[in-house]
Amino acid sequence: MKKLSWIAENIPASPIRELVPFAEAAKKRGVKIYHLNIGDPDIESPSVMIEALKTWPHQLIPYANSQGESHLINSLLGYYGKLGFGKLASADLQITLGGSEGLLWTISSICEPGDEILTFEPFYTNYMSFALRAGAKLVPIETTIETGFHSPKASVIEKKITERTKAILVCNPSNPTGAVYPKVEMDMLLGIAKKHGLYIIADEVYREFAYDGHQPYSVLNYLTDYPEGIILVDSLSKRYSLCGARLGVIVSLNKKLMQAFLRYGQARLSAGSLDQYVAGQLDKVSDAYFQKLIKEYDRRRQVLVKGLRKIPGVVCSEPEGAFYIMAKLPVKDSKKFAQWLLTDFSDDNETVMVAPAAGFYATKGLGVDEVRIAYVLNIKALERAVVILARALEIYPKN
């Protein structure tokens, strides 16, 4: 039998999801699990979206347009218009099957095998899989908990640039660190990109999720200044609690790139028609929805940070945005600990599931005592989860 490809052998398991079989086994034993491992919100979607399920106008589910359904595209144009980017046209948008597909296409469209993409480390773990599938290499720019995971100065970044560097990939607000990059940092990245002819790929999936007055500075602000170089990869998953609707959108003024994306889109026919019908209602979602949403996540954030900081040996920064926190735990190997939480521990028949952080780093050896915790549960559940985590750390065998 011919062997499998290098990619099949090497595509990493998701640290967010690879422990799922252990979680399922625990559930079968009757253990309740608080899911802190995954950014799957519990907040209700805008009711107009869920109500739309009852008005699906077909007796079947036909293909959608390969670029995306015009109703959804127009709704998104309205959404970006409200944010101050009213000059976008339909042709500047391509609907994707989640932000995931958008990132995969983007990396594959600008990288030959062996090319490099700079990104702040720790980074969203699946960037690694997408890069690997394109044969590209993620080159980490180290950031640390001490500086709230913000960018080092330009010279540190520029030292990483080689002939193979094609892009800077930035997640703003950042999953997993919660860093929110303001204008000054984004201007610096733009300067570097322009100087070296690099693309900026911005993952702004958590755009609305910013707290304490922090404001992510969108790359859409640079469209006029650097039209060929800006690629926004966006998703509806988080802001409307539509993770399972698998809808993202790429925005760029780079015409050649957008034409390539349309051909990628044609090859996979379309994104989901039902999902687009549901999400196409977003033009009817009030600002109040977001205000309430962010207020709730902010409360959760405060509860979580306060709770974690009370646990002996736990170190965490205060996230400025998104809904994750990177926490150092007093354990040697957070992956073993995360598995142990599911296989060997429970408190009053309950336990927590966290994402081991090593998979969020490209640099070997980093993050092995860290976990990513998502604050996507209600306050009561979150408080209970912190108590469980504290008890677990208390009794976790030190060796």
Which of the ranges 5-13, 179-187, 318-326, 336-344 carries the binding residues for a copy of itself, by CB under 8 A? 5-13
Nearer to a copy of itself, 67 or 351 (CB): 67
Candidates 29, 63, 86, 90; binder of a copy of itself (CB under 8 A) is 63
Q: Give min distance, CB of 216 to a copy of itself, in A.
A: 22
Using CB under 8 A, pick the residue from 228, 344, 348, 394 that binds a copy of itself.
Answer: 228
Interface residue with a copy of itself among 25, 56, 255, 291 (CB under 8 A) is: 56
> Interface residues for a copy of itself in 194-223 (CB under 8 A)?
197-199
Tell me if 381 contacts a copy of itself by CB under 8 A. no
Minimum distance of a copy of itself from residue 176's CB (angstroms): 15
The span from the CA of 303 to the CA of 306, in Å, is 5
Residue span 74-103 as binding mask against a copy of itself, x where in contact by CB under 8 A, dash where not = -----------------------xx-xx--
Contact 362, 140 (CB under 8 A): yes
**Considering only residues 113-172, where is the footprint of a copy of itself by CB under 8 A?**
113, 115, 126, 129-130, 133-135, 166-167
Q: How far apart are CA 46 and CA 52, in angstroms?
A: 10
Question: What order of strands is seen across the sheet that includes strand 324-328?
Answer: 315-316, 324-328, 370-374, 355-356
- How many CB atoms sit inside 10 A of residue 78's CB? 13
Interaction pattern, residues 269-298, with a copy of itself; x per rule: CB under 8 A: xxxxxxx--x--------------------
CB of 305 to a copy of itself, least distance (A): 25
Other C-beta atoms within 10 Å of 364: how many?
Answer: 8
6 phi, psi to nearest 5 deg? -60, -40
- Kindly state the smallest distance separating residue 200's Cβ from a copy of itself, in Å: 11
Q: How far is the CB of 100 from a copy of itself (least distance, A)?
A: 4
**Nearest Cα to 367, choosing from 37, 136, 145, 38?**
145
Q: For a copy of itself, which stretch binds (CB under 8 A), given 52-60, 82-90, 173-181, 385-393?
A: 52-60
Residue selected from 45, 94, 143, 177 as contacting a copy of itself according to rule CB under 8 A = 45
Nearest CA-CA partner of 220 in 228, 231, 209: 231
C-beta closer to a copy of itself: residue 145 or 274? 274
C-alpha angle 147-149-153 in degrees, rounded to nearest 5: 70
Closer to a copy of itself by Cβ: residue 107 or 392: 107
Identified binder of a copy of itself from the candidate list 72, 76, 110, 373, rule CB under 8 A: 110
| Minimum CB distance to a copy of itself smaller for 68 or for 307 | 68
Q: Which two tokens stand for residue 373?
A: 């915790």
